[in-house]
A and B are shown apart, each in its own frame.
Chain A
Amino acid sequence: MNARGPLPLRTLVLVLVGCLVLLAANIGAAFLPIGSWHAPVSIALGLSEAALLLSWWMELRYSGTLLRIAVLLPAAWLVLLITLIALDDATRVHLPPLP
């Protein structure tokens, strides 16, 4: 058995409510006239939902440091890859088409 014991039902329900609120907020935000803020707001809300799920239902908040590192490293790799690809794209010189 889990050394900490089962999570209280109230905690599980609160996380569900939090995720539902974030999901509704994300869908609602898609219709707000916020222009270029759409992408960062949507992604932040989606990631918050995933973070809630990771921390509570997947019990990452009760896990040891080694396990947290094992989870954060792939995420860090992903951020690094996206950053490098974005930098490559932003700084690439586009040649005119051949005659």
Chain B
Amino acid sequence: MTSSTDACEPRPALPFASLQQQRIAGRFGLWLFLGNEILFFGGFVIAYAQGRWTHPDAYIAASAHTDLLLGGIESLVLLISSFIASVALRSLMLDRRRTAIRLLLAVAVLGLLFLGLHGKEWSDEIHEHLLPGHGFDGSGGEQLFFFIYYVATGFHGLHVLIGVVLMAVLAQRLGQGRYSARHHPAVELSILYWHLVDGVWMLLFTLFYLVDRT
């Protein structure tokens, strides 16, 4: 493993004049991307709100079918993974590279655990005939709820999967000594992305599992 005090000092990528300028531009660019992500998931929120407005009773009935225990555990897993990601970044900044690698791998494992738990939840719901289409056991409004639920949580799951791959790749590259305590834009930006994935889940969990649970 390469020491953080690499022989060659990190240099800014073109067209940046300094590492600090590159970092600011990178963060700004990622936040613009995250803003787009907010709008992307916002579309599902709007669809949810519109459906709830027109089918309030069906939404209450449909929400009762979601697994609050599993959903709660998934929230806990993502929250803890986000915390570990923050600690990983802190470790890297303090030049504790081995710790950072282990923590990034822990984040990836927790992401996979989240996907496994959510897959189990989907599987249970499909067995309960809650997949929209022929054979759906419920009203049209309940079907609409589950349609939005599957699409929104499916896209969220895809984001988690991308995050898992990112964390694994970052851990590998850290092991190869590609990032230093002084310059690690890919790590910082990927962890920002992971936090957003966590934040989006908090909103989806609230909407699909909690708002209409009476």
> Would B35 and A71 count as touching, CB distance under 8 A?
yes
Q: Which of B37-45, B116-124, B146-154, B159-167 contacts A (4 or more CB under 8 A)?
A: B37-45
Contact B195 A57 (CB under 8 A): yes
Answer yes or no: B83 CB below 8 A from chain A CBs: yes
A7: B residues at CB distance < 8 A: 86, 90
User: Which applies to chain A's interface (DSSP): helix, strand, loop or mixed?
Assistant: helix
User: Does the CB pair A86–B53 fall under 8 Å?
Assistant: yes
B-side interface residues, number (CB < 8 Å): 53
Q: How far is the CA of A5 from the CA of B90 in the complex (A)?
A: 9
CB of B203 within 8 A of CB of A46, answer yes
A 39-52 to B, binary, CB cutoff 8 A, 1 in contact else 0 = 10011011101100
> A95 within 8 Å of B by Cβ?
no
Q: Point out residues on A near B: beta carbons under 8 Å.
A: 1-3, 5-7, 9, 12-13, 15-16, 19-20, 23, 26-27, 29-31, 38-39, 42-43, 45-47, 49-50, 53-54, 57-58, 63, 66-67, 70-71, 73-75, 77-78, 81-82, 85-86, 89
Residues of chain B at the chain A interface (Cβ within 8 Å): 20, 23, 27-28, 31-32, 34-36, 38-39, 42, 45-46, 49-50, 53-54, 68, 72, 75-76, 79-80, 82-83, 85-87, 89-90, 93-94, 181-183, 188, 192, 195-196, 198-199, 202-203, 205-207, 209-214
